[in-house]
Amino acid sequence: MEHVIGVRFKPAGKIYDFNCGALILKVGEHVIVETENGPGFGIVACAPLPIEAKRNTQPLKKISRPANENDFIQMEQNRQTEQRAYQFCKQCIKELNLEMNLFSTESNFDASKLTFFFTADGRVDFRKLVKVLVKEFRTKIEMRQVGIRNQAKMCGGIGRCGRELCCCAFITKFDPVSIKMAKKQGLSLNPTKISGVCGRLMCCLTFENNTYEGPNGPDDTPEALEEEQIQ
């Protein structure tokens, strides 16, 4: 009987379903999987279940095999390439005088593509930068602009509570957060006290929000709906 398992590629990242066939895999085991971008290196996050239990309408990609020693060596080589690419790209950004903040570089498992993550206040013309990167690394280059919250999730850090950032530890997607949540919970409205390291309202304001909404549920009056939500 075929089984489906959940695989995660990044800490606190989204879990994707894969068909593991007859392979016997355990949670925490590293595997090589088939993805749209070629082979991927992930970790089993959910125990196998009969494929009928998931009721998937789309055919699932398959688990190729458990990871071996050579795969871990490949991952270490990728990490070294990422570090070199990051430093080289930072220097190029400075020389080209581009208004962008590069904060991370990732390589595909098979080193077929390098992805550069950055934040910027607006659109950036990075065509010259891409040409320089392609010439240097002889591989496919992708420049990806992300939001400030995604930057915090990818870079990690410690929150004002003294613990690892929630977005790094377990949050897989960002829910809208509004100042009204802080008002309902009787918290200080001082931005410096209710903002996270990313500068936006803390994601944890949503954790207990339902408790403060009362028996009638969330406030959906026109005034409430006009409340600015910070994505």
Tens-place pLDDT, residues 4-39 = 899 999 887 888 889 888 888 899 999 999 888 889
Calculate helix-pair angle for 127-137, 69-96, nearest 10 degrees: 140
What does the alpha-carbon distance between residue 193 and residue 190 come to, in Å, rounded to a whole number? 5
Pair (54, 76) in one structural domain: no
Of 12, 40, 67, the residue that ends a domain is 67
State how far the Cα of 152 lies from the Cα of 205, in Å rounded to an integer.
17
Residues 24 and 50 placed together within one structural domain of the fold:
yes
**Whether 73 contacts 41, CB under 8 Å:** no
Do 189 and 226 sit in the same domain of this protein? yes
Residue 116 maps to a domain: yes
119, 175: one domain: no
Q: Check whether residue 62 and residue 76 sit in a common domain.
A: no
163 occurs within a structural domain = no
Same domain for 98 and 112? yes
- Which of 67, 85, 103 is the last residue in one of the domains? 67
Name the DSSP letter for residue 113.
E
Residue 166: its pLDDT value, please?
A: 86
Residues 22 and 47 in one domain: yes
The answer on 100 and 36 residing in a single domain is no
Distance CA 140, CA 127 (A): 13
- Strand 140-145 and strand 113-119: the pairing is parallel
Overall number of domains in the chain: 3
Q: In whole angstroms, what separates CA 20 from the centre of its chain?
A: 24
Residues 57 and 88 in one domain: no
Nearest to 201 by CA among 167, 170, 168: 167
Q: What is the residue range of 224's domain?
A: 170-230
Q: What confidence score (pLDDT) does residue 155 get?
A: 81
Write down which residue in 27, 47, 67 finishes a domain. 67
Do 81 and 138 belong together in one domain?
yes
Taking the CB of residue 194, how many other CB atoms lie within 10 A of it?
20
Inside any domain, residue 95: yes
Residues of the chain scoring pLDDT < 70: 1, 52-57, 214-231
Give the pLDDT of residue 152: 84
